[in-house]
């Protein structure tokens, strides 16, 4: 598989219904839960790109543009943003969908940097 094919096939989609266990006291999705899901999506995207071992080293600015109300759905989309030497940047977009209406809108966005580690927990080259 070429690098371009790996980038395309590693695009990762995660869906979740916004049930009460994800909410804050404003009856909207808790920001910390959104960040956790974004980080997981970034990890899965990096892993599916090259199947190496990754840890999170940095998260860039995360912008929460609109609240995510209870009883909606979210879709998280992870994409390769940049492949470095031992690190990789993954962009994660979060889209809000209402259950009984067509369409969706992007409400959160962030970029996460992960580093590939070898068996001695040292940074190692990304091989593809």
Ligand X SMILES: CC(C)(COP(=O)(O)OP(=O)(O)OC[C@H]1O[C@@H](n2cnc3c(N)ncnc32)[C@H](O)[C@@H]1OP(=O)(O)O)[C@@H](O)C(=O)NCCC(=O)NCCS
Nearer to ligand X, 73 or 111 (CB): 111
Residue nearest to ligand X (CB): 84
CB nearer to ligand X: pick between 43 and 95: 43
Give the residue with the Cβ less far from ligand X, 99 or 121.
Answer: 121
DSSP character at residue 37: H
Q: What is the secondary structure of 59-107 as a DSSP string?
A: E---EE-S--BTTEEEEEEEEEEEE-SSEEEEEEEEEEEETTSS--EEE
- Residue 115: CB minimum distance to ligand X, A: 4
Nearest to 13 by CA among 98, 88, 104: 104
Task: Give whole-number Cα distances, 112 to 39, 40, 50, 63, 83, in Å.
Answer: 7, 10, 16, 13, 12
Nearer to ligand X, 96 or 115 (CB): 115
Footprint on this chain of ligand X (rule: CB under 6 A):
55-58, 84-87, 113, 115, 123
CB of 89 to ligand X, least distance (A): 8
Distance from C-alpha of 11 to C-alpha of 2, rounded to nearest angstrom: 15
Closest approach of ligand X to the CB of residue 118, in Å: 10
Q: How far is the CB of 31 from ligand X (least distance, A)?
A: 18
């Amino acid at each position: 598989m070429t690098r371009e094919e790996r980038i395309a096939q590693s695009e990762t989609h995660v869906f979740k219904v916004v049930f009460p266990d994800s909410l804050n006291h404003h009856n909207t999705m808790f920001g910390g839960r959104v960040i956790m899901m974004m980080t997981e999506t970034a990890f899965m995207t990096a892993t599916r790109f090259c199947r190496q071992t990754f840890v999170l080293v940095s998260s860039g600015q995360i912008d929460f543009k609109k609240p995510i109300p209870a009883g909606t759905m979210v879709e998280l989309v992870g994409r390769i943003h940049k492949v470095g030497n031992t690190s990789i940047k993954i962009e994660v977009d979060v889209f809000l969908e209402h259950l009984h209406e067509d369409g969706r809108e992007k409400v959160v966005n962030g970029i996460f940097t992960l580093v590939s580690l070898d068996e001695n927990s040292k940074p190692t080259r990304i091989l593809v």
